[in-house]
Amino acid sequence: MSRTTYDDLEYHLRQFDNVYRSTEMMVDWLDKFIGQGANKNICDMACGCGANVAYLAARYPQCNFVGIDVEERLIEEGAKRLSAPNARLQQGDWFHLDESLRGKFDGVICFQTLSWLAEYKEPLKCLADLNPEWIAISSLFYEGDIDYFINVKDYTEDETNYKEMRYNVYSLERIRKVFESLGYKRFEYVPYEIDIDIAPPSKKDVVHIQRSWKMESVFKYPVE
């Protein structure tokens, strides 16, 4: 029997105390979108317990942030830790978002989740259906015209109750074309080059192995 790790409560809660360096660098890059002006409404899709929402809300008190995640348990636990007046969490399915959310957000951010999904075309369409000005994603990308679909099965802790997860690597060229078809024609990306020392990964640490070559991308709505 397999078990996924996407709803690992400990993984999500510990980010309240220790913000990932990749999150800080992603937000540094997005400052040109978030930091200019006030009263902007930003959504963090697949927010987990909302640790990144808390970080964003503290960094940009002039803006409003909403975290959405399909796992009700994560939303409930995160709400106990989230106290910022300009932030809130709500349960929602990325693939079946409430129609009332359309047009509500200036921007949508998704941290380190796209590669965990089975594919990218439908998820990106659902984000574009919200009609934000811009969409920003950090994930595993390849600077070429090849998609890699990777299914990881980790038997190291329990061979009969193993962990199973996706770590897909998507082509930036394919991603660009999908967004262009959805009306998002300005495309920017930067590689994530970690600037801090981290401990060497163990054989069990798939996440750290993959994080060493994660890319960050942003897709900007056309200004015409």
pLDDT of residue 147: 96
Q: Looking at per-residue confidence, does 25 or 11 come out higher? A: 25
pLDDT level of residue 5 (50, 70, 90 thresholds): low
Q: Is the pLDDT of residue 97 over 90?
A: yes
Q: Indicate the pTM of the whole model.
A: 0.85
Q: Is the pLDDT of residue 20 over 70?
A: yes
Indicate the angle between helix axes 9-17 and 72-81, nearest 10 degrees.
20
Q: Is the pLDDT of residue 206 over 50?
A: no
Which has the closest alpha carbon to 139: 64, 72, 191, 83?
191
pLDDT level of residue 153 (50, 70, 90 thresholds): confident
- Cα angle vertex 50, ends 116, 24, to 5°? 80
Q: Is the pLDDT of residue 146 over 90?
A: yes
Q: Domain 2-220 adopts which CATH fold? A: Rossmann fold (3.40.50)
pLDDT digit string (tens) for 47-80? 999 999 999 999 999 999 999 999 999 999 999 9
CB count within 10 Å of CB 65 equals: 29
Cα gap 122→127, rounded to integer Å: 9
Radius of gyration of the chain, Cα coordinates, nearest whole angstrom: 17
pLDDT digit string (tens) for 111-136? 989 999 999 999 999 999 999 999 99
Q: Where are the domains of the chain?
A: 2-220
Which has the closest alpha carbon to 153: 114, 112, 204?
204
